[in-house]
Amino acid sequence: MNDMADSSSASDTVCQEKYDVFLSFRGVDTRDTFTSHLYSALVRKKIETYIDYKLESGDKIAPNLLEAIEKSKLSVVIFSKNYASSTWCLEELAHILECKDRYGQIVVPIFYGIDPSHVRKQQGSYGDAFAQLEQRFKDSMDKVLKWRAALTDAADISGFDASNKTGTEADFVEKVAQDVLSKLNHKSSSNLKGLVGIEIQIEQIESLLCIDSPDVCTVGIWGMGGIGKTTLAEAVFHRLTSKFEASCFLSNVREESERHGLKHLQNALLREILNEKDLNIDTPSIGRSFVRERLSRTKVLIVLDDVNDSSQLELLVGDDIQFGCGSRIIITTRDRRLLKKMGDPDKIFKVEGLRCDEALQLFHLHAFKNDSMGSYYTELSRMVVDFAGGIPLALIILGSLFLHCESKQDWEDQLNELKKFPNRKIQNVLRLSFDGLEKNAKEIFLDIACFYKGMDIRLAKEMLDIRGFFAGGIKVLIDKSLISISEMNCLEMHDLLQEMGLEMVREQCIEEPGKRSRLFIEEDVSHVLKNNTGTATVECIFFNMSKIKELHLNPAAFKKMYNLRVLEIYNSSSLDNKCSKLYVPEGLQSLPDTLSYLHWEGYPLKYFPSKFSPQNLVNIQMAHSQVEQLWSKGQKLANLKVIDFSFSKHLTEIPDLSLSRKIEHINLGCCKSLVEIPSYFQYLDKLSFLGLRGCSNLKYLPELPISIKTLYLSETAIKELPSSVWSNENLSHLDIEFCKDLENLPSCSCKLKFPFRFSIEGCSSLRKVWELPRYIQQQQQQSLFPLSGQ
C-alpha cells in the first residue's frame, strides 16, 4: 500500500493564466468608443488584454470566450444601456463571477451611461430587457434567475461610475487603466507561484532602483550559477515594465554574444526599445546620431542577463549611450568585478541561497502532490535539502525526482543513491534526473546542452529530426525540469545543467576528443581536424572559426568520421574575416556520405571532394564560400530541403536539383557569377523561398512553381518577370527594387493579393507611372517608396 498520501484534484482551485485582462462589453454600445479607448490604454501599459472582435450572435457563448475568461487574472465588465439585452453578455458575466469564486479572479465593474442601481435591481433599460428575457426563457427561468443574481452581485463590487467622473473622458480611461494595473501588480506580488523567499528580494532590488528618482540608475544582481539571479530579474522586470515607455529583457548575453556577436545583441536591444523590427545599426541609411537622440528621450527598463565581459556592457549600455530620464538598467552576472566597473558599488545585490525553512518549502512544493506528509518524510526531506545547499534549481529538480517515489522505501533508496556522491556537488545531484531518462531523451538533452540552448524550438526540432531523434523527448525534459521554453519560444537550459551535459560528453574520452560523440570546444575541434584523430564515434561538430587564429586542416580529417551527421563551421566575427583562417593546402579528400546537415560558412575550396555523395543531405548552408561548382551531376538529392550558397561569388552553375522534390528553400543571393536559373525550377512544387537578390549577371528567370511565397530579385539584370509570378496567388513577398533592366510589368493578368510591401524603386527602365497598370498605381499610392522617374 502506498505510504504517501493520495493526491486530490486541483482543477477547481487552479487555472493557468494566459491573459491579464478580459473585457466584457456590449459591442453596439461601446465597442468603437469607451471600450476601444480603454483597450488601447491597457495595451500601452503592456497589459495583455483579451477583446472579442466578433459580433455577438445567438444565445450560447463561444467556448473560446469561456476559456479566455478562465485564463484571465482580471475581468473588466462595462455595463452600458443595452448590456442586459444580450444573453451573450449575461452568460459572460455569469461565467466571470464563477471564476471569481473558483479561482479568485478580480472583477472591476464600470457603469457607463447606466445607473448602478438599475444594474443591481434590474430597473430601467435592464428591467425592460428582463421583461423580454422572461418571455423568451419562460420554460427555463432558472437561467434568467442566474443572470439576475449575477447582475446584482457584480453591481455590489466596488468599481467606477462614469457619471461621477471628473475631467475628460481620457482622464477617466487613464484612471481605470491605472487602477487595473495597480490591482494586477498587487495580485502578482501575492501570487509569485513557486518563487519561495523571493518577495523580500524583489523589494530590496526595487529599493536599490529608486524608481521615483529622475536619474538613470544601474543595479547589478550578482551570485553563483543556479542561485536564482535570472528568476529574480524576471520577477522585477515584469512587475515594473509598465512604468516605463519601453523595455527589453536581453537573455543569455554571454552565450548570444559568443554565438552571434555583440552587434547582433545591440540590434536586438535597439529593435525592442525603439519598436523597429528591421533596424540594423550598421545600415548606412540609419542615422546613428538620431538613434542616440531617440534613446535619450525614452524612459527605458533594460535587463542584461548573464553578462560575463565588460565589452558587452560598453556596447549595450556604455557611456556612449544615453537613456531618458528615469531609465533603469539591471545586470545579472557571476562576476562582481564587472558591476564594480559600472559605478556605485552600493547598487550591487548579492543573491544568497535559500534559508533552511525556505529550501524545505520549495522542495515540498515540487516533491509532494499535496501538503500532507508524516514526520518521517519531514526528516527525509531535510536530508535531501542538505544536498542542494539552498540553490533553488537543485531543489526544484530534486523535488521532481522524489515526486515519483511512492513509498518510504523508494525515498530511502533514492536518498541512498544520493549518498553515493561523496562531494555532493550540484552537478551530481542534477545528474540523477538525467540518469532516469530513456535513451532518446538523454541524447536530446546532450544535443541541447552542446548545441541548441537558446535556439528557437521549431528549428531545434528540425535539427533533432535530422539527427534521427524523436522530438517528443523535449516534453520529457520539460517535465523533468531539465529544460524550459522561453516566452520567445526558445529552448532554455540552466547553466549548471548545461555544464553537466558538457562534462558528460567530455567524459566519453578525456584524453582524445576525437573519440567523443559531439565536438563543440574550439580547441578540441581544431585538434581533431588538424591531426586527423576523428573516429566513427563522432556524430556532430559545431566549430566557431572566430575563436582561433588559424587552422591548417588535414586533407583526410573527415575520412574516419563516417557516422558524422551534422557539421557546422561558422564565424561569429565580422564578414570581413570570412574564409581567412582555414587552410586546406592539399585539398579536402572526403566528406562523409552520412551528412544530413552541412553548414560550412566560408568554405575555402573551389570544389567538393570528388567522392562526396550528398544523397543524405537535408540542409546545406555554405554562404560566403569559394566554391565554383557543386557536387558532380547525377546525384539523387531526394532528402534535400534547404540550400543556401549566398555570397558565393565564384559559383557559376546550380547542380541538378530536378529530383529534389522536397526542396523548400533556395538562397543564391549575391552569387554574382550566376547567369542562369534552370527551367526545371518550375517543377519544384515544394519550393516556397527563392532568394536571388544581388545576382547582377542574372538576366533570365524561368517559370516558377505556384508554391513560391517569397521571391527576392532586387539588383538582378532580369528584363522581364515570368507570367507565373503575376498569376501566383500564394506569393506574399516580392522584391524587385533596383532591377534596372526590368522593362515591363503585366497589364491585366496579375493575381497577386495586394497590399503587401511592394516597391519598384530603382527600376529605371520601367515606363512612366501613368503608363503602368492600374493595380501598380493603386499600390504605389500606399507605398513608402517613391517610383523611379516621379
Rounded to whole angstroms, how far apart are CA atoms 771 and 426?
Answer: 73
Residue 410: strand, helix, or coil: helix
- 17 labelled catalytic: no
Residue 2 burial (10 A CB sphere; 0-12, 13-18, 19+):
exposed
**DSSP β-ladder status, 551-552 and 566-570:** unpaired
Rounded to whole angstroms, how far apart are CA atoms 203 and 347?
Answer: 14
Percentage of the chain exceeding pLDDT 70? 86
> Band of the pLDDT at 385, cuts 50, 70, 90?
confident
Q: Is the pLDDT of residue 545 over 70?
A: yes
> In what helix (H) or strand (E) does residue 301 lie, and over which residues does it extend?
strand 300-307
Rounded to whole angstroms, how far apart are CA atoms 721 and 703?
Answer: 9
> Band of the pLDDT at 61, cuts 50, 70, 90?
low
What residues form DSSP beta bridges with 358? none
Q: Residue 490 has what DSSP assignment?
A: B
Distance of CA 188 to the CA centre of its chain: 23
Cell numbers standing for residue 531: 591531426
Q: Judge whether 200 and 312 are in contact, CB under 8 Å.
A: no
> Band of the pLDDT at 784, cuts 50, 70, 90?
very low
Q: Is the pLDDT of residue 464 over 90?
A: yes
Residue 349: strand, helix, or coil: strand
Rounded to whole angstroms, how far apart are CA atoms 329 and 315?
Answer: 14
Average pLDDT over residues 763-790: 53
Q: Is the pLDDT of residue 220 over 90?
A: yes
Rounded to whole angstroms, how far apart are CA atoms 637 and 595?
Answer: 12
Q: Judge whether 93 and 154 are in contact, CB under 8 Å.
A: yes
Range of lowest pLDDT (143-147, 150-154, 445-449, 753-757): 753-757
Range of lowest pLDDT (429-433, 526-530, 651-655): 429-433
Rounded to whole angstroms, how far apart are CA atoms 718 and 701?
Answer: 7
Which phi and psi (to 5°) does residue 218 adopt? Answer: -120, 130
Cβ partners under 8 Å of residue 40, min gap 6: none
Q: Which of 344, 345, 362 is nearest to 353 (CA)?
A: 362
What residues form DSSP beta bridges with 690? 666, 711
What confidence score (pLDDT) does residue 580 get? 52
Give the alpha-carbon dihedral of 70, 76, 78, 84, to 10 degrees: 30
Active-site hit among 56, 70, 91, 92: 92
Average pLDDT over residues 155-175: 90
Average pLDDT over residues 126-133: 93
Average pLDDT over residues 214-229: 86
> Band of the pLDDT at 369, cuts 50, 70, 90?
low
Cell numbers standing for residue 671: 552569387
pLDDT, greater one: 411 or 512: 512
Rounded to whole angstroms, how far apart are CA atoms 197 and 194?
Answer: 9
Q: Is the pLDDT of residue 5 over 50?
A: no
Rounded to whole angstroms, how far apart are CA atoms 468 and 454?
Answer: 21
Q: Which of 234, 188, 247, 199 is nearest to 486 (CA)?
A: 234
Cβ partners under 8 Å of residue 462, min gap 6: 619
pLDDT, greater one: 319 or 101: 101
Cβ partners under 8 Å of residue 245, min gap 6: 298, 299, 300, 324
> Band of the pLDDT at 190, cuts 50, 70, 90?
low
CA distances from 482 to 433, 438, 453, 459 (A): 8, 14, 12, 19
Other residues' Cβ atoms within 10 Å of the Cβ of residue 780:
17
Rounded to whole angstroms, how far apart are CA atoms 131 and 127?
Answer: 6
Q: Residue 162 has what DSSP assignment?
A: G
> Band of the pLDDT at 750, cuts 50, 70, 90?
low
> Band of the pLDDT at 185, cuts 50, 70, 90?
confident
Other residues' Cβ atoms within 10 Å of the Cβ of residue 748:
8
Range of lowest pLDDT (88-92, 521-525, 767-771): 767-771
**Single-letter amino acid, residue 77:** V
What confidence score (pLDDT) does residue 428 get? 65
Cβ partners under 8 Å of residue 636, min gap 6: 615, 659
Residue 302: strand, helix, or coil: strand
Average pLDDT over residues 502-520: 94
Q: Is the pLDDT of residue 540 over 70?
A: yes
What digits encode the pLDDT tens for the residues 222-262?
A: 887 778 888 899 889 988 887 888 889 998 898 888 888 88
Rounded to whole angstroms, how far apart are CA atoms 158 and 110?
Answer: 9
Average pLDDT over residues 722-744: 87
* DSSP string for 558-615: TTT-TT--EEEEE--S-GGGTTSSEE-TT------TT-SEEEETT---SS--TT---T
What digits encode the pLDDT tens for the residues 561-572?
A: 999 999 999 887
Percentage of the chain exceeding pLDDT 90? 40
What confidence score (pLDDT) does residue 374 get? 54
Average pLDDT over residues 653-660: 84
What residues form DSSP beta bridges with 220? 331, 348
Range of lowest pLDDT (245-259, 424-438, 531-545): 424-438
Q: Is the peptide bond before 614 cis (omega within 30 degrees of 0)?
A: no
What confidence score (pLDDT) does residue 63 get? 81
Residue 633: strand, helix, or coil: coil
What digits encode the pLDDT tens for the residues 262-302?
A: 888 988 888 888 877 778 776 665 667 778 888 888 999 99
Rounded to whole angstroms, how far apart are CA atoms 216 and 205?
Answer: 15
Rounded to whole angstroms, how far apart are CA atoms 162 and 39?
Answer: 16
Q: Is the pLDDT of residue 641 over 50?
A: yes
Q: Is the pLDDT of residue 770 over 70?
A: no
CA distances from 678 to 623, 683, 698, 728 (A): 21, 11, 12, 19
Cell numbers standing for residue 597: 546537415
Residue 688: strand, helix, or coil: coil
Range of lowest pLDDT (306-320, 654-668, 763-777): 763-777
Range of lowest pLDDT (282-296, 436-450, 502-516, 757-771): 757-771
What digits encode the pLDDT tens for the residues 576-611?
A: 444 457 888 788 888 999 999 999 998 988 888 888
Q: Is the pLDDT of residue 3 over 50?
A: no
What confidence score (pLDDT) does residue 787 get? 42
Rounded to whole angstroms, how far apart are CA atoms 439 and 312?
Answer: 38
What confidence score (pLDDT) does residue 782 get? 47
Q: Is the pLDDT of residue 1 over 90?
A: no
Residue 287 burial (10 A CB sphere; 0-12, 13-18, 19+):
exposed
Q: Judge whether 629 and 607 are in contact, CB under 8 Å.
A: yes
Other residues' Cβ atoms within 10 Å of the Cβ of residue 300:
22
Average pLDDT over residues 170-175: 92
pLDDT, greater one: 383 or 227: 227
Q: Judge whether 380 and 411 are in contact, CB under 8 Å.
A: yes
* DSSP string for 746-761: -SS-------S----T
What confidence score (pLDDT) does residue 712 get? 94
What residues form DSSP beta bridges with 217? 328
> In what helix (H) or strand (E) does residue 220 lie, and over which residues does it extend?
strand 217-222
> Band of the pLDDT at 341, cuts 50, 70, 90?
confident
Q: Is the pLDDT of residue 350 over 90?
A: no
Average pLDDT over the chain reads 83
Q: Judge whether 111 and 172 are in contact, CB under 8 Å.
A: no
Q: Where are the beta strands (DSSP E) in 393-433?
A: none
Q: Residue 456 has what DSSP assignment?
A: B
> Band of the pLDDT at 8, cuts 50, 70, 90?
very low
What confidence score (pLDDT) does residue 643 get? 95
User: For helices 426-435 and 392-403, what crossing angle results, to 10°?
Assistant: 30
CA distances from 786 to 303, 452, 739 (A): 40, 43, 15
Rounded to whole angstroms, how far apart are CA atoms 741 and 699?
Answer: 9
